[in-house]
Amino acid sequence: MQDAQPKDLPHRLYKQYRFQLSATTSSLNIPKLDVDTAVSAANFDLAHPIPRRFTQMIKTHGYAAQSATTPLALFDYEHREPGPKDVHIEIDFCGICHSDIHQARNEWGNAIYPMVPGHEILGTVKQVGAEVTKFKVGDLAAIGCMVDSCRICASCKAGEEQYCDNHATVFTYNSKDKQGNLTFGGYGTNIVADESFVLKVPTNLDPAAVAPLLCAGITTYSPLKHWNAGPGKKIGVVGLGGLGHMALKFSHAFGAHTVMFTTSPGKIEDAKKLGADEVVLTKEPNWHAAHAGTFDFILDCVSADHDINPYLALLKRDAVYCTVGVPETPISVHAFSVVAGRKSVTGSAIGGIKETQEMLDFCGKHNIVSDIEMTSFDKLDEAWTRVIKGDVKYRFVLDLKSLK
């Protein structure tokens, strides 16, 4: 995706930054500064010879990968001093997502080290900038996979910042912010982000079990909503893991007839408890016959390679097969599988900030959280090993107390 970034993006973003700063100073009714002076002033306290960034940054203690092959280890680093629109969160819980492992091990080829993973972040507001309106100190707050985006393209304006047309989404870790600083995620004690990318958390839910909603939750909520899961619809969910178990809960809560596809007879009972109306064991002979041409939408939550063509035969005309599992090797699609019935193979990435807030509010109203196993940093290796094996019901959550 980096290749597709327009060559003039950094310049345009710099111009945008200058514009925002200029607008800010004028709205505060203070004498309008020369913008470049203001940019300098943001980094240095001119009255003192020591740059401010060395005195007021947020000291953070976390776990980082230093290379693709070494285990995560303790790492001390700093987050920026909260600006006027920033929220400083002391992190209480962080979910473990399979993508933490993919990225730390550079399996997606985009790793930047040191890397502090974690994008299912739940914590308590510690400081707020002068212009913050959504949060006050002591509030619960959450951060998902993004902390910024270009904010000016059609996708950002449509509330789909994860699909930023300028490819300028700033991810919560393994990414660079608009100033070129590396971002660090939830495997650490603190985080600082613009309130526009911080979510409010319903207070009636178990905060630890809310954390995985920030990735596993929105990743399944968004496509189910986008493709209209609801009463009268027959929805398939492939694979019962971190994503799949949330997909079952949402599809059921939306009122759709929900069918779980799994290879494991041992998961039948769980799937039904989680919201499946039917469970299809895909290792049974002729497992697909009874369901041919009957599904309105199938959400594939499997990250391992597998043949999707038998599932395409289960879709109705014009229906959609969506992957959120993102297998490493390309998906093989027989042309006839989509031509016959004008079916679509698509994918979906998390959800926009507005939709993530909608999802959290929905969860508060319907008492939906993730099924979790609590763990601690001293057991991180074991937890990652079990995530890779799919041996977790259904999401590990790191207790940040184990770092403090």
Binding site for its own copies (CB under 8 A): 1, 4, 6, 154-155, 160, 163, 165, 226, 289, 292-293, 309, 313, 316-317, 320, 323-327, 330-336, 338-349
Query: Does residue 394 have a cis peptide bond before it, meaning omega lies within 30 degrees of 0?
Result: yes
The CB-of-320 to its own copies minimum distance in angstroms stands at 7
C-beta closer to its own copies: residue 227 or 250:
227
- Cα-Cα-Cα-Cα torsion 73, 79, 85, 91, nearest 10 degrees, comes to 30
CA atoms of 384 and 137, how far apart (whole Å): 33
The CB-of-54 to its own copies minimum distance in angstroms stands at 37
> Which of 289, 243, 281 is closest to 262 using CA atoms?
281
The CB-of-172 to its own copies minimum distance in angstroms stands at 17
The CB-of-263 to its own copies minimum distance in angstroms stands at 20
C-beta closer to its own copies: residue 136 or 334:
334
Q: Is 167 left (phi over 0), alpha (psi -120 to 50) or beta?
A: left
C-beta closer to its own copies: residue 265 or 293:
293
The CB-of-6 to its own copies minimum distance in angstroms stands at 8
> Which of 298, 301, 326 is closest to 312 using CA atoms?
298
Q: 107 to each of 39, 332, 335, 375, how far by Cα in Å?
A: 37, 20, 29, 24
Determine phi and psi for 268, rounding to 5 degrees.
-60, -50
C-beta closer to its own copies: residue 88 or 291:
291
C-beta closer to its own copies: residue 302 or 403:
302
C-beta closer to its own copies: residue 57 or 331:
331
The CB-of-34 to its own copies minimum distance in angstroms stands at 35
> Which of 261, 205, 265 is closest to 236 using CA atoms?
261
